[in-house]
Amino acid sequence: MIIVLNEKNTQMAQELQQRFNGTNDVFVHRNRVAIQGISAADLTEAERQAADELIEDVPAAVQGSRLLHPEDTVINTAHSVIGGDNFTMMAGPCSVESLEHVTKMAAVAKASGATVLRGGAFKPRTSPYSFQGLGEEGLIALRKAADQYNMDVLTEVMDDEHVKMVAKYTDIFQIGARNMQNFSLLKTVGQTNIPVMLKRGMSATVDDILNAAEYIAAGGNHNIMISERGIRTFDNKYTRNTMDVGVVPVLQKLTHYPVIIDPSHAAGHTEFVTPLALAGTAAGASGLVVEIHDDPAHAFSDGAQALKPNEYKAMADQAYAIRAALTGVPAQVQAEAGR
């Protein structure tokens, strides 16, 4: 349950924590105290008196819940402010292919307002015989490219043994869709203080996502963002996945973590990426993470879904225009805000 303490009685939080800490999971956020596995009957009269409200129906993923933490999580990295009223553009190639190439893509990304450079160095490929990424060499290149343009790095970490090494290069860990319930990996990134972008699994329910995020939070890392990248449904003839745009307001209601739309994996084909990006923006997402490539036909991976530089620019301009239409903040100011 969650005990919402009266503003005058917030010292009670410490007392509750002391009383229950040995036996129950206890989480405190400002004047709110979540204690797992108890009910109102387990509280003393004084404890009940100190509360403005007792919330008995609490989800398992309590640290991620708005019930414990009503205000938005806002994540500050070196070059970005993610969540709250901000809108963050993240872009880059699917795979890091070379220093030259990723640097070129960083320039493109930055020119249209991206403050985060994405790129894969360890690639989770369906087949063991597909290109598996450049590894640490790729990370070095990605870091250099981002630094040159004052951008943050976002890159996937695929297993717990790599967390320390990847941490040397990245500003944001990406946990891929196939690893969304790799609990060992979630626990390991949960023990760092590096922000994590958790991608929704192909058939993960909303509750599954929130519980997966809770594995990270349970380790003490609360810098979490959630990315919708399309789910698996009965029809994938024309799009690679089905983008569940409705999950944006649903997650925003339930959790305080920022929600980022990945239109590239949802669409799977360049021609559908922009409409999905704009749909996600209009639904209220806190940002976009988009794959770009200057020569998609020769991309090392996922070329079919990469936007070319000019397509990316047009998409970004429209996304900012939609944000401006909805929030009243001019596109130019939005684009500047994150730099």
The answer to whether residue 22 forms part of the interface with a second copy (CB under 8 A) is no
What is d(CA 330, CA 120) in angstroms, rounded to the nearest whole number? 32
DSSP-assigned letter for residue 152: E
Give 84 or 275: the residue with its C-beta nearer to a second copy. 275
Are 335 and 287 a contacting pair, CB within 8 Å? no
The answer to whether residue 333 forms part of the interface with a second copy (CB under 8 A) is no
Contacts of 143 (CB under 8 A, 6+ apart): 153, 169, 170
Annotate each residue in 116-135 with x if it binds a second copy (CB under 8 A) or - if it does not, as one string. --------xxxxxxx-----
Give 70 or 249: the residue with its C-beta nearer to a second copy. 249
Residue from 91, 94, 196, 267 that binds a second copy (CB under 8 A)? 267
- Which residue do the tokens 């936007």 mark? 307
What is d(CA 205, CA 326) in angstroms, rounded to the nearest whole number? 28
CA angle 120, 262, 70 (to 5 degrees): 115
Give 21 or 184: the residue with its C-beta nearer to a second copy. 184
- Which residue do the tokens 């970490």 mark? 157
Residue from 52, 207, 295, 336 that binds a second copy (CB under 8 A)? 207
Site for a second copy in 234-263 (CB under 8 A): 234-239, 242-246, 248-250, 253-254
DSSP-assigned letter for residue 131: -
The answer to whether residue 148 forms part of the interface with a second copy (CB under 8 A) is no
The answer to whether residue 275 forms part of the interface with a second copy (CB under 8 A) is yes
What is d(CA 319, CA 183) in angstroms, rounded to the nearest whole number? 35
The answer to whether residue 181 forms part of the interface with a second copy (CB under 8 A) is yes
The answer to whether residue 164 forms part of the interface with a second copy (CB under 8 A) is no
The piece of 70-78, 81-89, 155-163, 301-309 that touches a second copy (CB under 8 A) is 155-163
- Residue 124 C-beta: closest distance to a second copy, Å: 6
The answer to whether residue 39 forms part of the interface with a second copy (CB under 8 A) is no
What's the longest Cα–Cα distance across the chain?
A: 69
The letter for the amino acid at 265 is H
Tokens found for residue 68:
């414990």
Give 105 or 278: the residue with its C-beta nearer to a second copy. 278
